[in-house]
Structure 1
Amino acid sequence: MADIAATRPRSPLTLARSGGNAGVYLAFVVLLVALGFAAPRFFTFGNLTDVLRQAVPIAVIAFGTTFVIGMRGIDLSVGSTLALSGLVTANLIVLGYPVPLACAGGIAVGAVIGLVNGILITKVGITDFIATMAIMVISRGIVMVYTQGIPIVGASDPAFRMIGQSYAGGVPVPVILTAIVFAIAFYLLYYTRFGRFVLSIGSNPDAARLVGIPTDKVKIAVYVLVGVLSAFAGVLLTSRLEAAMPEAGQGYELDVIAAVVIGGTGLSGGRATLFGTAVGAVLMAVVRNALNLLNVNTFWHQVVIGTIILIAVAADRFSRRQKV
């Protein structure tokens, strides 16, 4: 019972002030200052807008992944889910289906993938790493088989373009939609029983089960949630590009995990902060943008991202040992 009580989410203000996030905020400020000197173009309005646009897919998926990692799980299929959902959405648009129906179709694909992941993990008993990796490979394979590696172009319906390309009050609509997703996720995690159950399972799955928490149902719901958000990110990206790219979402698994862990959500579960995830997602976009502005060879990008993940995980481990 003590384990369950210990996982009751703290207030959002307390979470924002928690030491677990101080490092990422400091790193973010230092990076921005360094970029101001190394790449003056970084602070132009156009480039900052591009950074926010680039952060949108990672941020949307990362909000869902925060629930997964907070529950002591992992989902490696998010990038492939994005690609497959984007493919379905673009294909329906090209075939002349109404935009709402096409978007709903793409998001439904994400929900089904999340449901399959959840069932494989809870009912079949496959570990989350293996189950989601298998679904990642299968989904990407379906995309490649259908497209033969060729983009699906022609998703240029004006109503569809507005989702990913328009502005409202000078702010890109995808950024506004991301803020709405953040608000919904924030409410779910900090103000509902569902959020408390997620963190309780992450803290101690056995104790959560003993006190009556329907752990299997909660886990399935979490994987469906991240599947839906991955699909929504795919809709946003497809709308922005007006095409479904077969390679869309490749490597997003790394960026998403990095954003979540850097933000202060521990890989060992039981604690999660969406504030930190949001900053982590923007930080990842800033890093990639900075590497491009500084003309760093693209082959080095993954090296940098992997190093960031190692540092973030090591810092998380060190922080938890200091608190013991």
Structure 2
Amino acid sequence: MPNNCLDLESIRCFLAAAHHGAFRPAAAAVHLSPPAFGDRIRRLEEDLGARLFERTTRKVRLTEAGRRFAEEAERLLEAEARCRARVLADGQEALPFELTVGTRFELGLSWLLPSLDTLSAAAPERTLHLSFGDTADLLRQLRRGEIDALVTSARLALTDLEYAPLFGETYTFVAARERARAHPLRRAADAARHTLVDADRDLPLFRYFLDAVPPEPAWRFARVERMGTIAAVRQRILHGHGVGVLPTYFIRDDLKARRLVRLFPKVTLMSDMFRLIWPAGHRRAPELRALAESLAKVPLR
């Protein structure tokens, strides 16, 4: 028999399953075991008196009733977030909660870690934990529900994720000053005298330059070194062992001190956007949006 009262946590589970198309990753996204998650969906269907999903061995698909409910469920959770905001608008102390945010090492150490006190002052009820790693590892943690969100500028398929933009990230093609003076790099043909230093075999950093210049002539370097992290890329370039592209914020002091110099200064490299990303249907989505607003006010260091 349908129940007049609907459980909001079960509705969040429903939306997570609708976004993921499968119960197991959806359960991880809302920090529940698969059996507990399945039980919430079953109880929600019983409360509504309607079947919301067509189930197969590996996937689930919304029924017509499920599709109609999904539209209303999104609005219901938005209304709940507005209610919470109204209740706390008079300065009433909020209940404490915790969030774990993933970040790559360099960004976390230079920007997020020094900002923890500022973020704590903005929301004393919120405790932030950090998890460091590369983007692939952090994304795996996010999908398993081990972290609540991650900060990244990586280009991800966002079909089952939500995000809030934080700030733009620009890039600069650089070399050590002495190397640039001894071996000028003014055209594509000059690349044959240089080593390109990048993060991995896909050359994700150099592509910010490559996508900003004509496809011909080709850029053929004498060799390519893959360093894994932008900190290691910076060290190799700084010591004169190659050239490469780095986030401008990360080498701002090097450029100012002329330890590194810009190559092709008239070329505007492609830019990117840092985002706070979390699983769709996350139970702390309103708090994650509030965190994103606070992060957007913290300048890069």
TM-score where L is the length of structure 2: 0.23
Q: Find the structure with the greater CA-based Rg.
A: 2
Please identify which structure carries the higher helix content: 1
Please identify which structure carries the higher strand content: 2
Q: Which has the higher contact order (CA 8 A, sep 6+)?
A: 1
TM-score where L is the length of structure 1: 0.22
